[in-house]
Amino acid sequence: MPSNPYGSDGKPSPAYEFRGVQVGNHNVQHNTYAQHVHVPAVVTPMEKLDAPAGLINLPERSALFVGRGGDLRRLRDALAASSGSVVVTAVHGLGGVGKSTLAAHYAETHRAGHSLVWWITADAPTSIESGLACLAVALQPAVGTLPLEQQTEHGLRWLATHGGWLLILDNLPGPNDAATLLARLPGGQVLITSRRTTGWHDIATTPLSLDVLEPGQAHELLTRILTRHDPAAVTDGADAVCAELGHLPLAIEQAGAFMAETGTSAGEYLDLLGRYPAAMYGETAEGGDTHRTMARIWRVTLDRLADTPLAGKVLRMLAWYAPDDIPTALLNGFDDELAVIKALGRLAAYAMITRAGEVISVHRLVQAVTRTPTPMTFTALRSTSHTRATTPPARWPWRSGR
């Protein structure tokens, strides 16, 4: 039996043999076994490895990108700042406002100025680890034979020992979720997108707040969707739809896709939206991404606020007022003033509200989705109504003092 699985040329052997002799009465048996031994490929140290020319990992470029000239210039200026260390910029804003689309457009148009451009969906720690592992394998396929933890470390090692790259961390929950990664990066550029609006000054050179589209840009987006497959499509009333949707890009894309597919006019869409808000906010065109609807995106945000229960109660109250300049004094009915302050802070941190002194503003679609009962709420209400016939409220235990 050989002492190791390598051949005389020093290269790994694909297999080697064991030979044995079994001796017994009138019986001699020769056994030959071939055992294939896996030997990891030789991996070049990442610091000695240059990125292959044109190595880019980006989502498909949107053909519906409109406006954002000022935002793109601010993003370019922020990432171009030279501080002798890693440059980090965070684009934050309301879910559906177009943060990822802006980041992807910027990265695509500036790809030529970087040695490598790499996009990582960063909504969970495991996603970041997987993204770094994929980077390492793309740089050096032999790394794919290593355990995932080592692949991740190799990807991080390459970033830490090279410059000129652009790394996008999309949909990062908050600043702390990137702290460990950023601490190991002495150079390069990092572009972060997040719904979290606070805490970025500690890690980002210039945090950028992204707002909704200008009315003219929103109109251009909707008409472009409606006429994409039918240049003769009627676009009358597009301004009214955009205004009702608060000029929010994702909501406009969602509405435009539905209108184009069903042949629904602007007036008909607004009527459906008023009568069936729950269904319309969760509606998408055939083959569309059901995870990219306004209802789904904001439910995810509300789930992140579950550790502050009063935040949901405050938002549900604010949802019934006009969207702008709501006096904070209306919240004086809550007993715990400190808890209210904390709840407002959490809502503002995820861009669900905007505070300006003693008044609050809430995007009209945030209000609409918040007012819309979930299927579980409908079920609970139905169950309660069914019990009324057999158990009238007057007979409930708390009514009789039992």
Query: Does residue 401 have a pLDDT over 50?
Result: no
**DSSP class per residue in 151-192:** HHHHHHHHHHT--SEEEEEET-S-GGGGHHHHHT--SSEEEE
DSSP 50: P
- Mean pLDDT lowest among 119-123, 199-203, 248-252: 199-203
Say whether pLDDT at 21 is over 80: no
Q: What is the pTM of this model?
A: 0.76
Indicate the pLDDT class of residue 388, thresholds 50, 70 and 90.
low
**Residue 281 clears pLDDT 80, i.e. is over it:** no
Residue 383 has a pLDDT of 52
Q: What is the pLDDT of residues 109-121, one digit of tens each?
A: 999 889 999 999 9
The 10s digit of each residue's pLDDT in 149-200 is 999 999 999 999 999 999 999 999 999 999 999 999 998 999 999 999 888 8
User: Confidence band (pLDDT; 50, 70, 90) for 76?
Assistant: very high
Q: Which CATH class is domain 46-209?
A: alpha beta
Distances in Å between the Cα of 183 and the Cα atoms of 86, 149, 158, 206 are: 9, 18, 14, 17
Average pLDDT, the chain: 80
Among 128-142, 293-307, 345-359, top mean pLDDT goes to 128-142
Confidence check: pLDDT of 4 > 70 = no
Q: Is 37:184 a contact under the CB 8 Å cutoff?
A: no
Helix (H), strand (E) at residue 193: strand 189-194
Structure tokens at 134: 């994929």
pLDDT at res. 205: 75
Choose the most confident range, by mean pLDDT, from 75-84, 105-114, 336-345: 105-114
Work out the pLDDT band at 15, boundaries 50, 70, 90. very low
Domain ranges across the chain: 1-39, 46-209, 215-281, 304-362
In whole angstroms, give the CA distance from residue 116 to residue 109: 13
| pLDDT value for 285 | 52
CA distance 37 to 17: 10
pLDDT at 323: 83
By the 8 A CB rule, do 319 and 302 touch? no
The pLDDT, as a whole number, for residue 62 is 82
